Structure 1
Amino acid sequence: MADEPDRRTGLLEQIADTALDDDYYVVRAGRYSQSREFNTALTGVVLGLFALLVTMAVIQTRSDRPATERERASLIANVDARKKVLTSRENTAASLRAAVAELRASTNRSDPAYEMLRVETGDRAARGPGITLTATPTSNDDRRNTNHLTDNDLQILVNGLWYAGAEAISVNGRRIGTMSAIRTAGGGITVNYDPIGPPYVIVALGNEDTLESRFNDNPSGRHWLGRVQALRVRNEVTSSDQLTVPAVTAQRLTPIHAKAIEDPR
């Protein structure tokens, strides 16, 4: 009975060792050996393709490098050139500011001629005698109708007042200067690019005793009177010895492109 455990142990080991048929090992050895050979060949092909791609990428990078370097050099040169232009323009602007400051410092602002020049150019508000012309369109002067007061009518009116001797003019509170404009925009009239509407109030400084009569006698005045009669516009003219007109806005006072011509003397 003492030998029975050893006999059972040997039997279990024998069963474990012979659990699979010998043919299984034969088939397994043939199949998996072929698979390993196939995997090795596929791995070699993949590695070869990867090496080819890396080589092509390196060659392409080397061939593109000169063009990239030229583009980079061109960009750097362009940036440097623009920096030089900017520096030059900044220096020019600083020089012009210094020149303007010097001119302002050298101007005798207490000189009456200086103040009169500012009034004539519209740089300062002005007051004095003159006339006020108020044009009020009636209901017949509808903007949907082509027969209404236009920017051209107001232009002719202002020119007629200048011709009659006006020294300063404003239209609905907008001073008329050498760079002013009376135009039509968006179906309405603008003065100095500000929209205005009826009633149109024109203030003209000048000799109040002769300004109206001289206006009525000149061609522009006659054209205006004909227009207001045809359109049935209420046209009222009053005179006063204390009228005021504002200064011209800065945008319509400073020339940008016009340059002074040096006196040949």
Structure 2
Amino acid sequence: MCGMSQQPPVRSSPRRPSRPDASMSLLTNVMDHSLDEGYAEAAARKKEAGRSGLPKTLRAKLGLAAGLVLAAGVVTVGAAQARVAAPVVAKERQELIDRINRETDSADKLEGKVDSLRTEVGDIQHRALDQHGGKRGELVGVLSGAVAVHGPGVKLVVDDAKSAEIGGGTGPRESAGFSDTGRVRDRDMQRVVNGLWQSGAEAISINGERLTALSAIRAAGDAILVDNRPLVPPYTVLAVGDGQRLSTRFQNSPDGLYLHALQENFGIRTKISAEKNLELPAAPSVTVRTARPSNEKTEKGTK
């Protein structure tokens, strides 16, 4: 009898017990992975943002928005204040305008009264000259500017340069310290008038203002005043005398050459012509403050 070899019995490894829901694997997968991967990532980013604060771009946008809101608030407040203050400013401005108009009207009335009184005084002086002076009194009236005159003479027009800007180069005005060398100044007109007197003029007027021995040519800012009356360019100078001779003598005089230099260097416009007949008005009033007739002194000495 053959003996049969005995093999040890094969032991099977113990099997892992299966899950009770093994037959429901699809439902298990759905329960375990209920969220999509994109949702999970978004949830993770949101959670991370909650720990570290807002993103930089979002913080910048929020800061810009806050700045715009603040600026809008400031502008709104300023507009509201301006709207409230506007009626007050308008009222004050209108009151100032009304006051200026009233003062201007008052000044015009006073000036008219002064002109009327000057005319009255001038008429009285003219009558006195006619009654007591005769031909001599008439001559005195002409030379003093107390009476209107007419006759041949010279017409000289002086005007600012077209640009009236600072000129270049050197000339008679540079040393005087003028900044606007293209504009006619009171000193220029003083030299013109003095040059005409020296050249033989018997009576002179500027823009209708008769000059006398007491007349003054001054400046008030950019304006030229003749006996405190403002003049505007062009300045028309009328001088009664021997027309052609007066014109030649003036242009060859130092003052005429000065005026020519202003024209050449700074563009000041001048025009001179001999006229057959000029009419000059009388001065508004001629007031003698100190001088007395010589016969009056003699009479007082005799007494």
Q: Does the TM-score normalized on the shorter chain lie above 0.5? A: yes
State the partner residue of 1:191. 226
Partner residue of 1:160 out of 184, 195, 201: 195
Q: Per-residue CA shift, 1:32-88, capped at 9, x if unaligned?
A: xxxxxxxxxxxxxxxxxxxxxxxxxxxxxxxxxxxxxxxxxxxxxxxxxxxxxxxxx
Deviation at 1:238, TM superposition (A): 1.6
Change (3 A) 1:235 1:105: closer
State the partner residue of 2:235. 200
Q: Tell whether 2:143 aligns with 1:120.
A: yes
Deviation at 1:185, TM superposition (A): 1.1
Change (3 A) 1:243 1:185: same
State the partner residue of 1:129. 152
State the partner residue of 2:180. 146
Q: Any stretches of 5+ residues in structure 2 without a counterpart?
A: 1-123, 167-177
Change (3 A) 1:114 1:229: same
SS in 2 for 1:228: helix
Paired residues of 2:159 and 2:184 also in contact (CA < 8 A): no
**1 CA distance for matches of 2:246 and 2:222?**
32
State the partner residue of 1:214. 249
SS in 1 for 2:271: strand
TM-score after normalising by structure 1: 0.55
State the partner residue of 1:254. 287
Paired residues of 1:140 and 1:231 also in contact (CA < 8 A): no
Change (3 A) 1:180 1:105: closer
Paired residues of 1:170 and 1:204 also in contact (CA < 8 A): yes
Paired residues of 2:247 and 2:273 also in contact (CA < 8 A): no
Change (3 A) 1:242 1:105: closer
SS in 2 for 1:209: helix
Map 1:72-111 onto structure 2 (within 5 A).
104=128, 107-108=131-132, 111=134
Q: Per-residue CA shift, 1:75-117, capped at 9, x if unaligned?
A: xxxxxxxxxxxxxxxxxxxxxxxxx99x9499436x2222121
SS in 1 for 2:195: helix
SS in 1 for 2:243: coil
Cα-Cα RMSD: 2.8
Map 1:163-182 onto structure 2 (within 5 A).
163-182=198-217
Letter in 2 for 1:206: G
**1 CA distance for matches of 2:259 and 2:199?**
13
**How many residues are aligned here?**
161
Q: Per-residue CA shift, 1:174-197, capped at 9, x if unaligned?
A: 011011010001331111110001
Q: Per-residue CA shift, 1:11-51, capped at 9, x if unaligned?
A: xxxxxxxxxxxxxxxxxxxxxxxxxxxxxxxxxxxxxxxxx
Partner residue of 2:259 out of 220, 224, 235: 224
**1 CA distance for matches of 2:236 and 2:291?**
34
SS in 2 for 1:229: helix
Change (3 A) 1:183 1:106: closer
Identity score, percent: 30
Change (3 A) 1:139 1:121: same
Q: Any stretches of 5+ residues in structure 1 without a counterpart?
A: 1-99
**1 CA distance for matches of 2:288 and 2:263?**
35
Change (3 A) 1:113 1:219: same
State the partner residue of 1:78. none
Paired residues of 2:130 and 2:137 also in contact (CA < 8 A): no
**2 CA distance for matches of 1:259 and 1:123?**
16
Deviation at 1:212, TM superposition (A): 0.9
Larger displacement relative to structure 2 (233-242 or 207-216)? 233-242
Deviation at 1:209, TM superposition (A): 1.9
SS in 2 for 1:158: helix
Change (3 A) 1:243 1:106: closer
Q: Per-residue CA shift, 1:145-167, capped at 9, x if unaligned?
A: 52121100000000000011000
Letter in 1 for 2:180: T
SS in 1 for 2:153: strand
**1 CA distance for matches of 2:185 and 2:130?**
45
Change (3 A) 1:168 1:232: same
